[in-house]
Structure 1
Amino acid sequence: MGKTIRIGIIGSGGIAGAHARAYKGIEDVQIVGVADILPDKAQQFIERWDLPDATGFDDHRKLLELDLDGVSICTPNVAHYRTTVDALSAGKNVMLEKPMSVTLDEAVEMVQVSKKTGKMLNVGFQPRYDPNMAIIKNMVQNGQLGKVYYVETGGGRRRGMPGGTFIRQDIAGAGAMADIGCYSLDLALNTLGYPKPLTVSAYTSNYFGTNPKYHAEAGQFDVEDFGVAMVRFEGDLVLNFKTSWAMHMDTLGATMFLGTDAGMKVLPAGSGPWSGVWDGHVGSISLFHDIQGHHTESNIPLIKHEINVFEEKIKDFVRALREGTPAPIPGEEILRNQAIIDGIIRSAQTKKEVEIHIPDLV
């Protein structure tokens, strides 16, 4: 048997259950503490998930006094910043649920503290663990498309609005962009090697969420359910981003990469009103190119698999803890994802293009 990896979980809502299930499926991993600000909720979580070695806390700082190899942060978005900084400062490695934070300034400080303490800040974008995502990235990175100059991504649900903590700005920070839009951005940006964003011009709305006809909690709904943005990057590259929780349309279109030598179209897997966004698996990959002067479309065969991508991201985090390797999905990378979301919010509020300034974190 190897060294037992000791884990704490901060936040005991729905997503924390997925973390607990994944950790319980890994040999020599022990969940030793759970923290939640609501009295008794942590203990109820411990009992529900049968965690006999875990202690419940109503203050995450008390949990961080334990001997822990890592912590999963599963709080509402607005608490990501404080709990992450506290965990890193306490010498704990962090597995952070998406989105990284609410603002760019918060994300910058989180990365700075990670660098200062030498502790891992890993951000949870499980769609990367679909092996077909690697096909998409490899095709772009090996030059098959030539120079990529335009990317379109986003997708959208015809109906797929959550409730509760997801729809309140004071808890979630943002709506569809933070919930599903960040996945779309990661698909595009990870494929491209996370280029540096320069400017954003954006629009957001919430016509569906605030209408009792479409949402039972319309009176509490004060985040966006729809957003679009044009993002400029270094290297003369532009990204057309769009996302939606609800709309009168079947799709906002495919993810597309246009290059000087070829173009690639990618569709997500799944069907139904809650599908159509990049929080799951790849449905199809098509390459548009010329052969002997003929317009040619090649369907790229997908890798068939039964990988549980959520469990895989937890396994990868534990593997890094065990082997002392860098974060599989480092905060320094996702910082640029958060910078774009921050820019979208600022641009939509001011109704004009805004610049993105990411400080040097060396």
Structure 2
Amino acid sequence: MTKTMRIGIIGSGGIAHAHINQYKKLADVEIVGVADVVPGKAKQFVEAQGLGGAQPFEDHRKLLELDLDGVSICTPNVSHHQTTVDALRAGKNVLLEKPMSVTLAEAIDMVETQRESGKMLTIGFQPRYDPNMKLVQDIVQSGKLGKVYYVETGGGRRRGMPGGTFIRKELAGAGAMADIGCYSLDMALNAMGYPKPLTVSAYTSNYFGTNPLYHPQASQFEVEDFGVALVRFEGDLVLQFKISWAMHMDSLGSTMFLGSEGGLKVNPHGTGNWSGVWDGKVGNMTLFHDFMGQQTSTPVPVIEHQKDLFFEKVRDFVEAVREDRPAPIPGDQILIQQAIIDGVLRSAESKREVAIELP
């Protein structure tokens, strides 16, 4: 008989609903507790979701005293670090929503705690479960492109600015760079095997978020809505990273991998104000190369699928815990992109290139 997995939820905001909806689809999974610092909010969530015997808490540490196989952490960005560290120290496996943390120091502490605890820390990048993302990785790592020397990634929404906790620095830590930029970075870095970053030179702005013509909470907007950076890596590789929540442009372009023997262009999926970023499916792809001495291009067939990527993420976490497998998307890997985002924010603030130092 399959063991029932006992899961807790920390944070009962919008993204927690997405987690609960996926856990409900899984047999042998029981939500036994929900925690939220807002008085009464966890209780309201439990009742609204019909979670039956799940216990509500206002202190996540009380939730962690329960017998749990794992927790989903769905809190605002600024509390990712402490809730994750507390959960790992309490002997719980963790599925943490992106971005991993606010600062590099926090991410390092989270990874060190994970190693000390022997528990799992996996980060919630559901786009990885699109088979086309795996196809991009396979092409880049196949050698067909030769030596990859330049990568361009990012994306931009013409209009797609969130509000609430996403725009307050004390809760989010950062804006578009962390919110949707982390997806773009994961797509490119994972395809290349997560190389080690060395330096970053960056610029950020928030001309749209702070303008009441474009955002109803302009007076509360404290983070960046646009950013661009040049990142240098070991192995003579550079990456141009650009992201935008809002702009007077239809697109910031494709993701591109330039190599000595070929190039790969990957277009984002979808249309409209909230499209243009890598938080979901992949659009059409093209391989540029020479054949018989002639320049040519080959369309890469997109793999059609009906996968619910968020469900795949949650299911993989549960199965990895059940089968005692390594973390599907390990924290010590995502630490590298957190170092880049940290460098972007430091560089933009100081208006100069900064070094990225990893332990």
Query: Same-fold call, TM > 0.5?
Result: yes
CA distance in 2, matches of 1:266, 1:331: 26
Match for residue 38 of structure 1? 38
Match for residue 114 of structure 1? 114
Match for residue 308 of structure 1? 308
In the TM superposition, 1:115-130 aligns within 5 A as: 115-130=115-130
Equivalenced residue count is 359
| Secondary structure in structure 2 of the residue aligned to 1:155 | strand
Match for residue 174 of structure 1? 174
In the TM superposition, 1:130-149 aligns within 5 A as: 130-149=130-149
Match for residue 164 of structure 1? 164
Match for residue 253 of structure 1? 253
CA distance in 2, matches of 1:184, 1:170: 24
- Residues 35 and 63 of structure 1 are in contact (CA less than 8 Å); yes or no, is this contact kept in structure 2? yes
CA distance in 1, matches of 2:44, 2:294: 64
- Residues 71 and 94 of structure 1 are in contact (CA less than 8 Å); yes or no, is this contact kept in structure 2? yes
CA distance in 1, matches of 2:285, 2:134: 12
In the superposition, the TM-score normalised over structure 1's length comes to 0.99
> Deviation at 1:295?
1.0
CA distance in 2, matches of 1:296, 1:64: 58
In the TM superposition, 1:184-333 aligns within 5 A as: 184-333=184-333
Q: Which runs of 5+ in 2 are unaligned?
A: none
> Deviation at 1:142?
1.2
> Deviation at 1:48?
1.3
| Secondary structure in structure 1 of the residue aligned to 2:180 | helix
Match for residue 72 of structure 1? 72
CA distance in 2, matches of 1:33, 1:140: 43
> Deviation at 1:37?
0.2
Q: Which whole-Å deviations, capped at 9, do the CAs of 1:182-230 have from their partners, x for residues lacking one?
A: 0000000000000000000000000000000100000000100000000
Runs of 4+ in 1 over 6 A off after TM superposition: none
> Deviation at 1:81?
0.2
CA distance in 2, matches of 1:306, 1:268: 17
- Residues 197 and 336 of structure 1 are in contact (CA less than 8 Å); yes or no, is this contact kept in structure 2? yes
Letter of the structure 1 residue corresponding to residue 231 of structure 2:
V
> Deviation at 1:293?
1.3
Match for residue 154 of structure 2? 154
> Deviation at 1:289?
0.4
Determine whether 1:82 maps to 2:82: yes
CA distance in 2, matches of 1:83, 1:267: 36
Letter of the structure 2 residue corresponding to residue 356 of structure 1:
I
Q: Which runs of 5+ in 1 are unaligned?
A: none
> Deviation at 1:276?
0.2
Letter of the structure 2 residue corresponding to residue 171 of structure 1:
L
CA distance in 1, matches of 2:48, 2:258: 49
Q: CA RMSD in A?
A: 0.5
